[in-house]
Amino acid sequence: MSLFRSRRAIPYLLMAPGLLWLFLFFVVPNVQMLLFSLSEGTLRTGFTTPPEVWDFENYTGSLTKFSANFSNSIVFGGLATILTFLIGYPLAYAIAFKGGRWKNLLLFLVIAPFFTSFLIRTISWRIILGNDGPFLTVVRDVLGLVPANFSIIGTPLAVVGGLTYQFLPFMVLPLYVSIEKVDRRLIEAAQDLYAGPWRRGGLIAGAISGGLVAIALQVGLGYGSLIGEDAAPAAVLPLGVIGAVAGGLVGGLLISQAFIRVTLPLSLPGVFAASILTFIPAIGDYVNAQLLGSPKTQMVGNVIQGRFLDQNDYPIAAALAFLLMAGILIAIALYAKLLGTEELTGGRA
Amino acid sequence: MPEVEVRLTQVYKAFGNDATGRRVAKYVEPGEGGLIVAVDHIDLEVHDGEFFSLLGPSGCGKTTTLRMIGGFEQPTSGKIELDGQDVTWLPPYKRNVNTVFQNYALFPHLTIFDNVAFGLRRRRVPESEVRQRVGEMLELVELPGYEHRKPAQISGGQAQRVALARALVNKPAVLLLDEPLGALDLKLRKQMQIELKRIQQEVGITFIYVTHDQEEAMTMSDRIAVMNRGKYEQLGDPETLYERPATEYVAGFLGVSNLLPATLGERDGGYVVARLADGAAVRVPAAVVDGKSSIKIGVRPEKIRLHADAASIPDRMNRLQGRVIDASYLGASTSYLIEAGAGERITVFEQNVERTSHGSLHRPGEDVHLSWSPDHTFAVGKDGSPPAPVSVAA
């Protein structure tokens, strides 16, 4: 009987260290943060609970006061996710389907940047894209493609570019895993069942999505002017046309019906995982906005960091952190609903 | 003369010997830096409405042949015609051919209905017709009511039927089946063999069936090509292949046979007298030795009778003397291993109709007489061993 009991206890014993760890370093700090977010004062004056216990002044006040930062976070994080997807899916597809014996090397190259510190990499981007950096030296001074006062550092473009670069591996790896898992025989079966090139559908779908993405990017990057940057005005129409043409070409020439009907739907769980893994850290990031942006491109992460570390204003910082978390959770719930994860897994119980 | 539906002319396929992860045929040791020959200049004609099987061990080139007809591989050289049209370089989706894949390859994210409707929808068949044809097809494979299930929610046998329906619903000129019953258990296999034959007769579509199971091929096929090392050694209906195998390989692959080296002697009516190593004379139908100089004569184990004394053997029968080495009781029959005059080992199956209730009719150590009809004797070329491995320098 005692043996039986101890055997039943084994799973709990195995879980105990992890649960204890999570309790100490996840539950306790979160409860602490929740309490902070409902109190007043600073580290110097001490924290006091306001007279009414459930006072959400910190939350409502922060939402209005830092709405620009929230909007920066959503726009930059969202754009970075779209961009990493556009770059990452073809890359993951190529490695999975055409990588052959170079597969492992290519995957290693995708994660190779992780061997350098996050900060070092971001600072190098600052140098590369800086006003006296190699990129602008060539594009501005040698080729004369942009006006003399053009700069990248300090604009939303730099922040989105930095985020896209930093989180690309987070997008590529889950995509690779799910694309790699797609059974090649299913693609042969689709071809056997008359799935050929996707000419007309690809042309239309590619043109529409290419146009929309181009417009989204343009609006997003032209977003600088909305937040008071003296950025170039949005060239929505020409870029939309360019995007539509590019998308139409890709859709009409490269995309097959077998891809649309089989490979893509079967890789959707990976798309879901990858975009969440990219979007969450991207929307909460502050390093890229700090090092590559300007005061006007500050994201919520920057405000939280400043309130916590510089101003010791724990209540506001905690409230902002909770607002960000709630926003992310709602976004993911909507996204899951939209993609329908139950359907994605093939209905296997 | 029946109409030719599929014609292969000198079809040759070699795979590069590299580690790209591509399918590589396994039967030939690769030459140094060479190529692996999967299909070696095959000529083949499959008739309209016929159930045709490619039979052979794994790596004999049968699946590669099928994949070339389906369009999943291109031949290195040669020509493939479908209904008189050269399709050698056409992609799979442009061929009026459908495949039932070895592991069914059902689309896991689609319902059974959408799986079966896949081909019709790609061909832009109106949705009302799609609904009707899919319904009829599920009726034919006895799966009505399963439309809304996912492949993960049905059994292997049902998945097999869906795969068949998904291919047949397109009314292809030819249906290709790549060991479709391989994953089923024995009982279900037997059932599906009969079912497949029924469906084939009902729809009248040409079936090309790949299998390594001789019994499966014999049960269903109108004609069989027995493949070995990228070629077929013999092509014919199941009865001819069994009763008159042309090569040692075919004789051994389809059932059990006794092969005895012999030298050809004088002609005796419609027969030729062949002498075994110990001088015993055996008559062989002249037709089966035509064109062969040195031969092995063959006889199937169930064609041989055992006798305690030679007097009971009817006239004009082939006869041999031997000693029982081993007797195994198999239920319906008893299998004897007999050693003949020059030490040849001969297997004999005797139906247990005459069996007494006590022990075998013949015991190990007993001298026995063997007899069989000369007409049941076949001959294979003595040098009828499989052709030497082919390897081509790159």
Q: What does the pLDDT read at residue B356?
A: 58
Its domain, for residue A107, covers 68-117+152-180+269-349
Residues B268 and B369 in one domain: yes
Any domain includes B248: no
Strand order in the sheet with B85-86: B85-86, B77-82, B4-16, B35-47, B391-392
Most confident option among B16-30, B253-267, B355-369? B253-267
Residues B265 and B219 in one domain: no
Q: What does the pLDDT read at residue B161?
A: 92
The whole model's pTM is what? 0.81
Any domain includes B55: yes
Residues B285 and B343 in one domain: yes
Any domain includes B273: yes
Q: Are A314 and A48 in contact (CB under 8 A)?
A: no
Any domain includes B251: no
Q: What does the pLDDT read at residue B340?
A: 87
| Pick from A194, A266, A346: CB nearest B150 | A346
Task: Give which of B192, B190, B202 is closest to B162, Cα–Cα.
Answer: B192
Mean pLDDT of the B128-144 span: 92
Given an 8 Å threshold on Cβ–Cβ distance, is A194 in contact with B122?
A: yes
ipTM entry: 0.80
A187 Cβ under 8 Å from any chain B Cβ = no
- Binned at pLDDT 50, 70 and 90, residue A322 comes out as very high
Q: Which residue has the higher pLDDT, B255 or A50?
A: B255
Any domain includes A256: no
Q: Domains in chain A: how many in total?
A: 1
Residues B91 and B237 in one domain: yes
- Binned at pLDDT 50, 70 and 90, residue B331 comes out as confident
Given an 8 Å threshold on Cβ–Cβ distance, is B118 in contact with A261?
A: yes
Residue pLDDT, tens place only, B143-194: 988 999 999 999 988 999 999 999 999 999 999 999 998 888 888 889 889 9
Residues B165 and B266 in one domain: no
A250 Cα distance to chain centroid:
24
Q: What does the pLDDT read at residue B226?
A: 94
Residue pLDDT, tens place only, A45-104: 777 776 665 667 888 888 889 988 998 999 899 999 999 999 999 999 999 998 888 999
Residues B130 and B168 in one domain: yes
Given an 8 Å threshold on Cβ–Cβ distance, is B150 in contact with A348?
A: yes
Any domain includes B387: no
Cα distance between residue A108 and residue B391, in whole Å: 38
3-state helix, strand, coil in chain A (%, to 5): 80, 0, 20
Query: The CATH number of the domain where B278 resides is what?
Result: 2.40.50.140
Which region among A223-237, B158-172, B279-293, B303-317 has the lowest average model confidence (pLDDT)?
Answer: A223-237
A7 Cβ under 8 Å from any chain B Cβ = no
Any domain includes A229: no
Task: From B192, B215, B243, give the residue that closes a domain.
Answer: B243
Query: The CATH number of the domain where B28 resides is what?
Result: 3.40.50.300
Contacts of B105 in chain A (CB under 8 A): 183, 185-186, 188-189
Query: The CATH number of the domain where A274 resides is what?
Result: 1.10.3720.10
Q: What does the pLDDT read at residue A26?
A: 92
Residues 6 or more apart from A143 whose CB is under 8 A from it?
none
Give me the phi and psi of A11, to 5 degrees please: -55, -40
Task: From B212, B243, B274, give the residue that closes a domain.
Answer: B243
Mean pLDDT of the A125-142 span: 88
Any domain includes A103: yes
Q: What does the pLDDT read at residue B19?
A: 43
Residues B239 and B171 in one domain: yes
Residues B60 and B18 in one domain: yes
Contacts of B150 in chain A (CB under 8 A): 346-348
Contacts of B20 in chain A (CB under 8 A): 100-101
Residue pLDDT, tens place only, A103-121: 999 999 999 988 989 899 9
Residues B140 and B277 in one domain: no
Task: From B220, B243, B266, give the residue that closes a domain.
Answer: B243
Residue pLDDT, tens place only, A263-282: 999 999 899 999 999 999 99
Contacts of B98 in chain A (CB under 8 A): 192-193
| Pick from A101, A196, A262: CB nearest B93 | A196
Residues B184 and B277 in one domain: no
Any domain includes A204: no
Any domain includes A106: yes
Q: What is the mean pLDDT of chain A?
A: 85
Given an 8 Å threshold on Cβ–Cβ distance, is B98 in contact with A193?
A: yes
Task: Give which of A171, A153, A167, A130 is closest to A289, Cα–Cα.
Answer: A153
Any domain includes A188: no
| Pick from A185, A195, A346: CB nearest B93 | A195
- Show contacts of A219-223: CB within 8 Å, 24+ apart: A220/A75, A220/A78, A220/A79, A220/A156, A220/A160, A221/A79, A221/A155, A221/A156, A221/A157, A221/A160, A223/A75, A223/A156
Mean pLDDT of the B34-51 span: 87
Which region among A89-93, A243-247, B299-303 has the lowest average model confidence (pLDDT)?
Answer: A243-247
Q: Domains in chain B: how many in total?
A: 2
Any domain includes A333: yes
What chain A residue is nearest to B102 in terms of C-alpha separation? A185
Residues B159 and B275 in one domain: no
B78 Cα distance to chain centroid:
24
Any domain includes B291: yes
Residue pLDDT, tens place only, B342-390: 888 999 998 887 655 545 578 888 888 999 999 999 988 755 444 333 3
- Binned at pLDDT 50, 70 and 90, residue A141 comes out as confident
What chain A residue is nearest to B18 in terms of C-alpha separation? A101
**Alpha carbon of A98: minimum distance to chain B alpha carbons (Å):** 10
Its domain, for residue B126, covers 4-243
Mean pLDDT of the B84-88 span: 91
